[in-house]
């Protein structure tokens, strides 16, 4: 990946800024330019909305066979987290033992290094989740 591809997503990935449809009020993350309910009524009008970062585990898994760039992290916990504003988000759960995760567990987002593109490549940052005790 080249730098702009990582750079352009920084606001959404670093602060969890999603989009809110002004017509129906639904919040989306990751951000999208068109509301699937309101279609062209929403295009060009979607508003930025920063998520609180708090949510609950909707489903999860422990990954033993990784994608490229995640060799050193495995096994790691992947989850879908239902954010308190409504949208569900895919991310890792860290600072937690796999046997302690369960569906419904409260988590909060933290800013972490996600990975890098080879030894001279771009370092990618974004959110991961930790147990919200």
Partner 1 sequence: MRDVAIIGIGQTKYGEHWKRSLRDLAVEAGLKAVEDANIYAKEIDAIFGGNMAAGTVIGQDHLATIIADFAGLAEHNVPAVKVEAACGSGGAALHMGFMAVASGLYDMVLVGGVEKMTDVPGEHMTDALASAADREWEVTFGATFPSLGAMMARRHMYEYGTTREQLAMFPVVAHENASKNPMAQLRNRITVEKVLNAPVIADPLTLLDCSPITDGAAAVVLAPMEVARKYTDTPVKISASVATTDYISIHSRPSITTVKANVEAGRKAYRMAGVGPGDIDFVELHDAFSIISLIALEDLGFVEKGQGGKFAEEGQIALGGKLPVNPSGGLKAKGHPVGATGVGQVVETVIQLRGEAGERQVDGAKRALTHNVGGTASSVFVHILEVV
Q: CB under 8 A: which stretch of 19-27, 37-45, 46-54, 60-68 binds partner 1?
A: 60-68
Beta bridge partners of 80: 59, 90
Please choose which of partner 1, Zn ion, none residue 103 contacts, taking the beta carbon within 5 to 8 angstroms, the exact cut-off set by kind.
Answer: partner 1
Indicate which of Zn ion, partner 1, none lies near residue 37 (CB less than 5 to 8 Å, by partner kind): Zn ion
Q: What is the dihedral of CA 17, 39, 82, 13, to 10 degrees?
A: -20
Candidates 38, 80, 96, 122; binder of partner 1 (CB under 8 A) is 80
Q: Which range, of 19-27, 45-53, 124-132, touches partner 1 by CB under 8 A?
A: 124-132
Distance CA 27, CA 51 (A): 9
Closer to partner 1 by Cβ: residue 20 or 128:
128
Can residue 126 be called a binding residue for partner 1 (CB under 8 A)? yes
What contacts 131, CB < 8 A, 6 or more positions away?
Answer: 93, 95, 96, 100, 105, 106, 107
């Amino acid at each position: 990946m080249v730098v702009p591809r990582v750079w352009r997503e920084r606001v959404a990935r670093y602060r969890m800024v999603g989009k809110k449809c002004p017509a129906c009020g639904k919040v989306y993350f990751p951000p999208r330019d068109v509301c699937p309910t309101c279609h062209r009524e929403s295009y060009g009008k979607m508003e930025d909305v920063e998520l609180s970062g708090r949510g609950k585990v909707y489903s999860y898994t422990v990954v033993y066979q990784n994608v490229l760039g995640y060799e050193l992290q495995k096994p790691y916990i992947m989850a879908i987290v239902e954010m308190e504003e409504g949208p569900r988000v895919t991310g890792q759960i860290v600072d937690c033992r796999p046997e302690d995760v369960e569906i419904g567990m409260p988590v909060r987002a933290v800013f972490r290094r996600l990975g890098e593109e080879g030894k001279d490549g771009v370092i990618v940052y974004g959110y991961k989740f930790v147990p919200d005790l």
